[in-house]
């Protein structure tokens, strides 16, 4: 029998936009996509951090450039995507969390989280899709969601609401844009050790509780997200759309 050919994990010749790329998960995704061969455009609000990361990626011999962009400023963001696209791959890692009990939620915090996690993510995904459809190109659009998009979390009502919304519009967009060969998926991490979460993990009780919920017995690292994003970005996942890839160490399984 003829053996089937293996799908490609190579992104050579592809152009990828990574929003929220100045640190943490977003920065790791940008590195992963560049190493897979993509020309990566790193987008965030902080110019200096973007420039430093672009410099380091280029020093490895890969292609990268910086783009100062705020996903919550929809009109200006749309213009930047149109001017710099089309993008074959989108990774939206821009996000915000402001935790409190549901009874103590402030309208200001609710609006801030929704502006970035829902409105910004929605219209960024839309903007990249518009560019692909106009250029008659296929694409892979990936929103970094959360395990909290599939469960409830203590003191996380607003954050959970925002990530549940991301899962909803991702599925709807996947249905609409499948005819254009544009795939839309999410990656749903558990607690990942980054500069932003370092304070949480520095508390022995909080870390012990988190590790007790993760069936693999350890907290996540940004490297755990990199492979998932490369998989979804490439032809290796050509039949995957409207899906949520949980990188949660088994948290939501039990």
In the block, residue with structure tokens 């929809």: 74
User: Token pair of 152, please?
Assistant: 């409830």
DSSP state letter for 45: S
Radius of gyration of the chain (CA): 18
User: Token pair of 176, please?
Assistant: 């609409």
Q: Which of 62, 159, 177, 251 is an active site residue?
A: 159
Contacts of 57 (CB under 8 A, 6+ apart): 30, 31, 34, 40, 63, 64
Contact 162, 112 (CB under 8 A): no
Residue 159 known to be catalytic:
yes
Q: Where are the beta strands (DSSP E) in the chain?
A: 15-19, 39-44, 64-68, 89-92, 139-144, 182-189, 244-247
Catalytic residues: 159
């Amino acid at each position: 029998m003829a053996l089937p050919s293996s799908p490609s994990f190579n992104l050579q010749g592809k152009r990828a936009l990574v929003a929220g790329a100045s640190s943490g998960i977003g920065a790791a995704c940008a590195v992963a996509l560049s190493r897979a061969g993509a020309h990566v455009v790193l987008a965030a609000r902080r110019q200096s951090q973007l420039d430093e990361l672009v410099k380091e990626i280029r020093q490895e011999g890969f292609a990268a450039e910086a783009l100062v962009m705020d996903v919550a400023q929809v009109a200006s963001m749309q213009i930047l995507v149109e001017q710099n696209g089309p993008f074959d791959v989108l990774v939206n890692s821009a996000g915000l969390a402001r935790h409190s009990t549901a009874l103590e939620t402030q309208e200001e915090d609710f609006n801030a989280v929704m502006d970035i996690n829902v409105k910004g993510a929605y219209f960024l995904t839309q903007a990249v899709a518009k560019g692909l459809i106009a250029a008659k190109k296929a694409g892979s659009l990936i929103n970094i969601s959360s395990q909290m998009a599939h469960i409830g979390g203590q003191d996380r009502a607003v954050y959970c609401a925002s990530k549940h919304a991301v899962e909803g519009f991702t599925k709807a967009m996947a249905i609409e844009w499948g005819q254009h060969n544009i795939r839309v998926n999410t990656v749903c991490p558990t607690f990942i050790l980054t500069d932003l979460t370092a304070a949480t993990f520095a508390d022995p009780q909080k870390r012990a509780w988190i590790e007790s919920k993760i069936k693999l017995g350890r907290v996540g690292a940004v490297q755990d997200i990199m492979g998932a994003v490369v998989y979804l970005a490439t032809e290796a996942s050509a039949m995957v759309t409207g899906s949520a890839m949980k990188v949660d160490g088994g948290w939501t399984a039990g």
